[in-house]
Amino acid sequence: MKAGKISETVLKRSVLKQLHKTSDQIQQGPAVGADSAVFEVEAGQKVVLSMEPVTLGITEVGNRGVHKALNNVTCMGAVPVGVMVSLLLPTSYSENQLRDLVHELDHACEKASGAVLGGHTEVIRGITEPIVTITGVGIAEDKAYCSSGNVKPGMDVIVTKWIGLEGTALLAEEKEERLRERYSQPFINKAKNFLEYISIQSEAAVAAKSGVGAMHDISQGGIFAALWEMAESAGVGLEIDLKKIPIRQETVEICEFFDVNPYKILSGGSLLMAAEDGNALVRELEKAGINAVIVGKTTDNNDRVLWCEDERRFLELPQTDELHKVMEE
């Protein structure tokens, strides 16, 4: 199989069909577009879990892993408690490097108001970089709980901040030497700093109090994958205006330089939402200093349509994240 997330077809055929539900307490299990598992521990209270492996890039793996796992938890309306961490390290890794990585993990948890709850650390042969897997843990009250089942036809579709932030930062950090062939150092440094935006906890907290129907962290596969996953999970169609999707000029130029599609690259730091009144939600987000744009609507059919002025085309099944093209060179 190709590197990257497995295709939806393989996921349905060889993974999801092999699994069965064992308890009525499980309110969300494995499914297309489901980034978290949810089970009820007592009436009115749910535990939300989300596992996030850091598989693209070696930059800030601890920081990115913690925020990405807790982003998924927060998207369900849960309050983060902390993370479980699995660290598989190469034999070339030093104790000082391990200490620095653990410090990075702890600092990221502290910023996210969580803690490292435990995990596993092991040195193994056959790998050249650390393999970091984070499981985010959170608690959701019924009144705050969000799921894709809340998405109905006719809702506004909203995107926060800008797409491609994480992917742009990784390209700027790990392919800096190549980028210097065309761009100035201040331009590259600005792109590197996009990782500052990787947490979506602030906008998720505002959205949970402002009429949001559902939230989906935009991660591997970019905005196109996130749109498909939200629509597929909810069983709705989409009408999306491509030109309204917010994107930074740095992302446009760096993606053009590496010949990758900015709508299909890792986009941690941007949140996809559906709401009955998108204008009211956008106003509340803007009051909190968070950029947000209505990019389209959900529909009552299975068509997932992208408009670019008068050109109409259909959203495709999610494909391998475009970053693999560059990172594997």
CATH number for 107: 3.30.1330.10
Could you tell me the pLDDT band of residue 16, with boundaries at 50, 70 and 90?
Answer: confident
Judge if 154 and 69 occupy the same domain: no
Residue 325 Cα distances to 30, 44, 100, 115, 320, angstroms: 28, 45, 29, 35, 9
How large is the average pLDDT for residues 88-97?
93
Residue 227 has what pLDDT?
96
For the residues 174-180, what does the mean pLDDT come to?
Answer: 94
Comparing 65-79, 168-182, 267-281, the range with the smallest average pLDDT is: 65-79
Q: Of the given ranges (27-36, 42-51, 252-261), which has the lowest mean pLDDT?
A: 27-36
**Residue-range definition of the domain harbouring residue 23:** 19-141
Is 109 found in the same domain as 52? yes
CATH number, residue 315: 3.90.650.10
The 3-class secondary structure across the chain, one letter per residue, is CCCCCCCHHHHHHHHHHHCCCCCCCEEECCCCCCCCEEEEEECCEEEEEEEEEECCCCCCHHHHHHHHHHHHHHHCCCEEEEEEEEEEECCCCCHHHHHHHHHHHHHHHHHCCCEEEEEEEEECCCCCCCEEEEEEEEEEECCCCCCHHHCCCCCEEEEECCECHHHHHHHHHHCHHHHCCCCCHHHHHHHHHHHHHCCCHHHHHHHHCCCEEEEEECCCCHHHHHHHHHHHHHCCEEEEEHHHCCECHHHHHHHHHHCCCHHHCCCCCCEEEEECCHHHHHHHHHHCCCCEEEEEEEECCCCEEEEECCEEEECCCCCCCCHHHHHCC
Between 190 and 320, the more confident residue is: 190
Categorize the per-residue pLDDT at 27 as very low, low, confident or very high, splitting at 50, 70 and 90: low
- How many domains is the chain partitioned into structurally? 2
Whether residue 255 is predicted with pLDDT greater than 90 in this model: the reply is yes
Instruction: Name the pLDDT band for 179 (thresholds 50, 70, 90).
Output: very high
> Does residue 276 or residue 42 have the better pLDDT?
276
**Domain termination site, one of 125, 141, 157:** 141
Look at residue 113 in the predicted model and tell me its pLDDT: 86
More confident residue, 16 or 65: 65
pLDDT for the residue numbered 20: 77
- The whole-number pLDDT of residue 252 equals 97
